[in-house]
Structures are given as structure tokens and as C-alpha cells.
A and B are shown apart, each in its own frame.
Chain A
Amino acid sequence: MKKFAIALTCCLNFTVQAQIPAGYPADYAATVAAAEKEGKVVVYSSTDSTSTKPLLADFQALYPKIKVEYHDMNTTEIYSRFISENAANAGTADVLWSSSMDLQVKLVSDGNALTYVSPEAGKLPDWALWKNEAYGTTFEPIVFVYNKRLLQADEIPLTHADFTRILGAKADRFRNKVNSYDVEKSGLGFMLVTQDAMVSPAYWDLAKAMGAVSSRYQSSTGTMMERISSGENLLGYNLLGAYAFVKAKKDPAIGIVYPKDYTLVISRVMFVAKKARNPNAAKLWLDYILSRRGQTVMANQADLFALRADVEGETTAAGLTKQLGAALKPVRIGPELLNMLDPAKRLEFLKQWQQTAVGKK
């Protein structure tokens, strides 16, 4: 009887072990087992559920016993909901996945994240990992978008300096026809221009040029692209490359420029909540998103840009690096992002932005 029991246990172990991805430590099996006991993982994410569907389906195939409860909301909602629920010790997310890098870093720096060394951590570039708590998951370029139908070849800026120059030279042509993020309304937009100012002091010239042509500032990439596509606006600054890429596939009017002097790259940050009720399932999800398999699905089916260097495709870090090389400037996930969350500094920057980019006195 005892021999039979041992044999059975070995078989079971073997079956369980068969599920662990290759190269993972042996004790990962325990995590998987614990996760399966937990049965579900609650994710608060700003990536819309339509894009994520292939990832969810693939994860389900990988771990059939674990259900993903995927809450799709915007970055502010994620932040507010999480801190409120946390403070009330109520059930909240196990994993937070948001494109608002600074808010995610703040949450991590406030001690809300579980320290966890993912087996995939080694495959990530060093800017995409902080304290083994905050993980970057995507590699999304920030681009210029223009209306292919209506712009001449010499009106398409290829660098930031180009952008400033063209707006200056053809001010009448571009009056009211340039758009970008309203950095007061969009946290992401704000972060992007602060990164611009850090990378290149010439940003302020660009901002002034935009102000001079009465640029139209809006709150979301979607509306900006819609207006560029229709011709109401001709040129857009600092749009999310991932969305532009998807739209350009269907809409021949959309043209994308990856600026040659420097292209900012953002990454959607993911962390596991320290007080997560399903920590093991959360770890499985994180590891899946960071794994080669997950990143491949991301790049090829999910309309997202993959981060890992070993994933091939157009919408991957590898593909973009081939195109742009050193021009790519990823935003480092780290405490520096907290600087511009300081209200005083923020308001000062905003004032400067108002005075240049909007032309307010």
C-alpha cells in the first residue's frame, strides 16, 4: 500500500511538474499548486480587455484551474480604487497593471508591492525592474502621428528639432492643426513631457512652437488620432505608438514617425500587491506576462509591444531596436519618477508648460 502511495505521489508530482515552464526552479511547483488552490487572480489593469483577450485565453490554457478576474479601468480609477480598498482592508486587486508609470512607482514606493523575484527577471532590461517589486512588461514607443493624405513629404517631421522647425516655418499651415496631450488632464501626457524636458532641453522650444500655432490639447490618444485621421488636425505629438500602430493597420490616413533623435519608450508597469489574497496566482500571472510565451502572444495577437529582447516581430523591443537603435530612450522605472509627483514641482512645471505650450501669460 505504501509503495503504491509513493508511486502515486511521484506520478502526481510528475504531472504537476510538467506544467512548470522550462528553466523555472523546482519549487515553482509549490507556487503553482498553491495558486490552483487559490483558484483565481484579480487584476486591475488599464489595458483594455479586447486587447488582452488573447493573453487571458492563453493563460487559461496554461493554467486551466486558475481564473483571471480582469478589471479594465483607467489609470486614475486603478489608483483610487486600490488605495481605498487597501485602506479598508477589503478585497482588492492581486495584480496592478497600469500604463501610468509614475503612479505605479508611487504605489510601490509606498510599500504596497510584494517583493518577488520572478524567474523571468533576468530576461528584462535593467531599466524595467525596480526593487524586484515593480516590473515593466511592454516596450511602447512614443511617436508623432500625421495625416498621410494631407501632409506633403517635407512637412513630416522626422526628429524633434524637425518638429520645431516645421511648425515655425509653416505656422499658418499648422495653425490649430497640431494636437497633443493636455498634460493637466492626462497624467501620462504630463510624464511624457517631463521626460522630454529631461532628455532634451530643446523641448521648451518645441513647446513654444506648439503654443505659437495654437495647438489643440486633448485628453486621450483616441481622440487625437481620430482628429488626425479626419484631417481636422494634421500632426500629433507624443502619441502612444501601440495605439497608433493598431489604427494605422486599418486606417490608411494614419502615418507614424518614430523620431530619429530620440524616441521615448514607456512600459506598462505591473506589481503584485503585498496584501494580495491570491499571491501565488498573482505570481503566476506576472511570470506569464513576462515569459517568452506570454510576450509572444502580446506581440502577435494582443496589439501590444513586447519587452523581451528574445521575442521576434515588428511590435517588439527587438524589432524597434533594429529600427532605431540608440535613439530609443526608455523611461526608467525607479524613484526618479516620484520627483514630478511632488505637488510644488509639478505645479511649477505646469505653469511653465502653460506659458509656453498654451501661450498663457
Chain B
Amino acid sequence: MTPVLRVDELHLAYGRTPILKGVSFELTQGAVISLLGASGSGKTTLLRAIAGLESPTGGHIRINDRTVYDQAQGIELLPESRNLGLVFQSYALWPHRNVFDNIAYGLKLRQVSTGEIRLRVEQVLRQLGLADLAGRLPHQLSGGQQQRVALGRALVYNPPLILLDEPLSNLDAKLREEARAWLRELIVTLGLTALVVTHDQSEAMAMSDQILLLSEGRIEQQGTPQEMYAAPQSLYAAEFMGSNNRLAGVVAEITPGRARIEGLGWSVWGATTGKSAFTHGDHAVGLIRLERVGLAPGPGPNVLAARLSTSMYLGDHWEHLFQLGEITLRALSSNPLAEKDCWLALPENQLWVFKS
């Protein structure tokens, strides 16, 4: 089946500064992909390039088999011809138009009859829970309401693909959790194909079927949320996708698929992933997710002695801070800890070793 979106070797530079250095991916019908990355990684630029708001310098972009950009053939469709929906980070609602007109604009441009415009807009308003707000102006709406209007505006003309630029970043924390569930459900229910830009990895994992992790204009790793979280291919990916403990040390022993790293007063085995080849004496980092660190009754393989320095109560769990020489380790538990001196178990298959 033809992918809804196909991006091939997309390059984009501002003058001599490269922003996107060859990005390729596909988006199939009904899928939600997140473009995840730190600021400066190029994710928003990629989104805007797909929308036609930025001019790439190489590669090509196809939407449903229609070439919207092809550097080799000199094709670059203007944004108004691409028939996409875009939800801006700031929502960009037109302040001089009310909710109804904001949403109806796209239909008006497509010369839909007034009667049908009213039907479709009202339907969208109902779907998004905005039915009573049709006559309000944007400044009279709350942040969450504005977001929904922005969404409605992007959806109303049934584009094959909608783009969302940091859709939840402007909402407060509590609202954000509710909103991501609601957004995911809406996208799935309406069978939309969506490309979401976000810097928040938990948001990306919650909402999408695939995650594209971008770093410095390139795709660092691509995969399902589970793959991205449980099997990161690089240090960057591993660090970005979750909360980790970081043990910086030196490679002491190497066996196929495993390596032992050691530092001042500690030594652990871990799984080597990715393509990097290790040699003795390499500087390396051992990374293990917080929730994978367990409490051991006593010493053992990959068990470290550590001293509890502080505990934080987070409502549904406790987070503990341990000191081991110069290393700080964090671990989670459901209950407070009684002892100060603990044994921390770092399971070998959960500890990744990366070159640093």
C-alpha cells in the first residue's frame, strides 16, 4: 500500500549551515509518527519542510504518490497546494475571527457550499467538544480550548496527513496527561495519519506507533516505542528515551555481546549493543533505567554497595538517591527504605554499555 508520506534523503540548509542532513522515512495510513529530539535537532524544521513552509535543499517528499518536493526535478509545491493540516505550537488562531470562522476557513477556500460548511464545522465542533463556543473569539478561550480549535481547523477538510508541532507543550502538566490520551484516541477514532513533533519522550511513546529520534539533523534511531525504550542503539537514544543511571568508567573485559566496565570502587558487566567495537581501556558508559535497579539482599554479580543519601516521595512511588564513591545512583521503590546501606542489583541484561 502506498505510504501516505514518503520522505527521501531530505537535506535542508540555511545558507551554509546544514539543518537536515539526509532524513528518510515513511508514514503509512492510520499511523502516528513522532519526530522526537532536543531543540536544534531539526524536528520542527523537518515538519515545516513537509508542510512547505521551509525550502529544502535536496531530496524528495511525496504525499500519497504526489510529489510535493523533488530537488532533482525542480518541483516544490506551495503550502496551499499540499492539502495538509498543521496544528501550530502557538495554535495561531486568527484573532479577528471567531471559532466557527477559524475552522470554516479551509472549507471556504475549497469553495464548499455555505450549507455544507455549516454542517461539517458543527460536526467537528461536536467531535472536539466545542459546540457552545462557535461564536467566541480566540482570546476568550482557554489554552486547551484553543488547542482544540486549532485541531479542528486542521481536520475539517479531511487532509490525508495532519502535522502537529509540539501539540501539548503549552498545556499545564495535569492537562497534558489528559490531553495526550484524548488526542491519541481522537486520532485513532478518526483514522487520521499524523506526524507529531515533540521534545517529550513520554509523550512520544504514549501517542505514537513509531518514533523517529532526531539528532543534529539526522535520524538517530527509528522504531516502535517499545523498541526505542527497551533497545536503544546509541548512547544518545538510550539517554533520551528514559530516566537513567549513568556509570562512567573504562572497559576492562570484553566477550561477545558483553563487556565489563569498571570505575573507582565498582565494576559491572553489561550488554554491548550497536555497532561500536570495544577495546580494552576504552572509555565507556554503563546505562541502566531507574526502574531496572533493584534492591539485593546482599552482594553478588552486578551488585553494588551504596549509601542512601535522600529519598523523594512522588505519590505512587519513592525515588531514592544513592552515593557510591563519586557515582550517584537512583532507584525506585513502592515503599520507603529502612536501611541506609543498601545493595543495588544492576541486572546485566538491563545494563547497556556504550562508548562515550
Q: Check whether chain A touches chain B (CB < 8 angstroms).
A: no
